[in-house]
């Protein structure tokens, strides 16, 4: 989720002109290079920054470092870009870059920094509602990481209002509701997620967890079975198979059958 959102933020940000080639063209080229050669993109962004690349160069450096998994470096670059945008009173670029900084902090496990940066972005009246909704989702994730489930609940309530078509918002809301003991809310929200993404393994896995919490093991095993087959190589599928094995579901039957000895009359 992190990298797609960073590219969405990049698309929504319009840097000011910097060189004769055109800032947007140079930024687009640098961002595309991040897909194939993040190290080269970082060199390009650093060289650009040294010649007055400003916000655009910092943003590209953040994207390149994100692509290489350097979340601390990405956080530094996005923070630099957001600060520069603040100094030049470019409110839209600032809001978008604080979202990117928050995402980089979240990916790097710096939950309090993520909450602070995402709060700055959310407070901006210039942040478009779709990005604001995703920022609420990620601030909720950071709140869970920081152990603040109450704040996470409030953020996810806002997220599903702003981005109701996003199955991830509903999935996270359902998972949090289950963990907080609100099975009714968990069932309602996982159904919303399944309506939007009926064949997504992590959603089906959570549907099984919620059914198990409610005591409906037949439904739980059915959902875990689906999760294990629709995307068999996913982490959610592996967890679903483990739950099936532990609960005596379909994944456990072949092993049990292979050990059974023929019974005489």
Same domain, 222 and 144: no
Same domain, 14 and 82: yes
**For residue 253, pLDDT beyond 50:** no
Percent residues over pLDDT 90 in the chain: 85
102 near 118, Cβ under 8 Å?
A: yes
pLDDT tens digits, residue range 207-229? 999 999 999 999 999 999 999 99
- The DSSP secondary-structure symbol of 231 reads S
User: What's the pLDDT band for 255 if we cut at 50, 70, 90?
Assistant: very low
In a domain, 37, yes or no: yes
Spell 139-163 as b/e; 16+ CB within 10 A means b.
bbbbbbbeebeebbbebbebbbebb
Same domain, 179 and 203: no
Using DSSP, state whether 232 is helix, strand or coil. coil
DSSP-assigned states of every residue in 65-78: HHHTT-HHHHHHHH
- Which of 175, 169, 167, 174 is closest to 193 using CA atoms? 167
The domain in which residue 102 lies consists of 2-184
Same domain, 52 and 22: yes
Same domain, 73 and 175: yes
Average pLDDT, the chain: 90
- CATH number for the domain spanning 109: value is 1.25.40.10
Spell 37-70 as b/e; 16+ CB within 10 A means b.
ebeebbebbeebbeeebbbbbbbbbbbbbbbeeb
In a domain, 194, yes or no: no
Distance CA 118, CA 139 (A): 6
Helices vs strands, H then E, count in the chain: 15, 0
Number of domains in the chain: 2
Same domain, 219 and 173: no
Same domain, 114 and 38: yes
pLDDT at 262: 35
Cβ neighbours of 199 (radius 10 Å)? 12
- Which of 88, 97, 91 is closest to 10 using CA atoms? 97
Please tell me the chain's helix, strand, coil percentages from 3-state DSSP, rounded to the nearest 5: 75, 0, 25
pLDDT tens digits, residue range 120-161? 999 999 999 999 999 999 999 999 999 999 999 999 999 999
Name residue, tokens 């929504």: 12
Same domain, 48 and 168: yes
Same domain, 41 and 167: yes
pTM value is: 0.85
pLDDT at 19: 45
In a domain, 265, yes or no: no
Residue 27 CA to its chain's centroid (Å) = 24
User: What's the pLDDT band for 22 if we cut at 50, 70, 90?
Assistant: confident
If you average pLDDT over residues 48-53, what whole number do you get? 95
pLDDT at 261: 37
């Amino acid at each position: 989720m992190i990298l797609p959102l960073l590219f969405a933020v990049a698309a929504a940000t319009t840097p000011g002109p910097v060189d004769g080639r055109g800032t947007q063209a140079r930024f687009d080229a640098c961002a595309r290079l991040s897909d194939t050669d993040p190290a080269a993109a970082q060199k390009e962004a650093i060289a650009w920054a040294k010649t007055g690349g400003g916000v655009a160069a910092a943003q590209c450096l953040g994207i390149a470092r994100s692509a290489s998994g350097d979340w601390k470096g990405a956080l530094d670059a996005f923070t630099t870009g957001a600060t520069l945008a603040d100094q030049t009173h470019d409110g839209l670029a600032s809001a978008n870059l604080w979202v990117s900084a928050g995402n980089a902090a979240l990916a790097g496990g710096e939950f309090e920094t993520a909450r602070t940066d995402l709060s700055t972005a959310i407070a901006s009246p210039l942040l478009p509602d779709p990005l604001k909704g995703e920022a609420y989702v990620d601030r909720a994730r950071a709140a869970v990481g920081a152990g603040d489930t109450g704040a996470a609940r409030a953020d996810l309530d806002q997220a599903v209002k702003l981005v109701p078509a996003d199955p991830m918002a509903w999935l996270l809301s359902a998972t949090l509701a289950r963990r907080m003991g609100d099975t009714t809310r968990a069932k309602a929200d996982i159904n919303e997620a399944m309506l939007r993404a009926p064949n997504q393994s992590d959603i089906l896995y959570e549907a099984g967890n919620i059914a198990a919490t409610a005591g409906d093991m037949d439904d739980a095993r059915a959902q875990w079975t689906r999760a294990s087959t629709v995307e068999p190589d996913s982490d959610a599928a592996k967890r679903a198979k483990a739950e099936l094995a532990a609960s005596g579901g379909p994944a456990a039957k072949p092993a049990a059958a292979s050990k059974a000895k023929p019974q005489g009359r």
